[in-house]
Structure 1
Amino acid sequence: MNESHIQRISDLTPLRSAPSLSTEQTSVLRAELAREMGAYSWFTVGVMATSAAEALRSLRQLETACGWEPMRLEGECKAEDGVFLKANQSSGMVRIRAEQGLGEGILISGHQQEQGAAGPTWGPFPLDLFTT
């Protein structure tokens, strides 16, 4: 899919890696995401990045943009050839593991307080989508 055709969050779903977005696309997608997230109580976040530092930076930007309390990093990962960060807002925990061959981007899943009430997964969004 041509990056210029990305107009809605659903346009990202078939992608393996997040595309580069224009300022206008970023604004439109962030507004749509905020509306979608409004229907859920808490979130899990997956970040595919080249390094643990890059993945954690993207998560911290998301937390700030959403007004979330920072989640706690459990353990340490110094991989520089690809990582996957998994953050669970309900538990407040973040784990990062080495994982090569993934794309790059942020995945966000909505959840309800009731067990088993998982919503959709949105993304992959660019790692800098929540840069302020």
Structure 2
Amino acid sequence: MSSPGIQSLKDLSRLREAPSLDQSTAEQLLQELEVALSQSSWFTIGVMAPSADQALSSLRSVEASQQWTSLEVVETTTDEGPVFLKANQRGGTVRVRIEHGLGSGILISGHGDDDTQPATTWGPFPLDFFG
């Protein structure tokens, strides 16, 4: 299965929902992402998912693949429905809230230690991209 129109991280930025990716495209994007991530000091991660459990599972797969310390969930929901998860490495926290009308996928934003490095966001990646 091919991933038409997706050849670089930049191609993902125009999407509202994570695309299905073939293995070759996923590997290429992961290599490009690794280089991009190495240029940032810390990260925020946004996960748009059908449930809180799925969002947290996707976050944990990002943390494991990048060998990041697991962040602490300080706010979540027990309601059923689509969620937005926001994880912040600098604060060490994760917040999950019900949010309707979003697509599905993982967004990662790289940040610098000061204003000289603007934040850059990559994605959306499929929820199982890092798994």
Give the 5 Å matches for 1:108-119.
108-114=108-114, 117-119=117-119
Q: Determine whether 1:76 maps to 2:76.
A: yes
The two structures, once aligned, show a CA RMSD in angstroms of 1.4
SS at match of 1:4: coil
SS at match of 2:75: coil
> Which consecutive residues of structure 1, in runs of 5 or more, have no partner in the other structure?
none
Q: Determine whether 1:51 maps to 2:24.
A: no
Q: Determine whether 1:123 maps to 2:115.
A: no
SS at match of 2:33: helix
How many residues are treated as equivalent by the alignment?
130
CA deviations 1:37-77 (Å, max 9, x no partner) are: 11100000000000000000000000000010000001231
Distance across 1 between alignment mates of 2:117 and 2:32: 21
Q: State the AA in 2 paired with 1:5.
A: G
Could you tell me the TM-score, scaled by structure 1's length?
0.93
**Range moving further from structure 2, 69-78 or 100-109:** 69-78
SS at match of 2:130: coil
Distance across 2 between alignment mates of 1:42 and 1:84: 20
Q: State the AA in 2 paired with 1:37.
A: L
CA deviations 1:2-26 (Å, max 9, x no partner) are: 9322110111111100001011111
* Alpha-carbon distance, 1:80 to partner: 2.7
Contact 1:51 1:78 in 2 (8 A): no
Q: Which residue of 1 aligns with 2:6?
A: 6
Q: Which residue of 2 aligns with 1:90?
A: 90
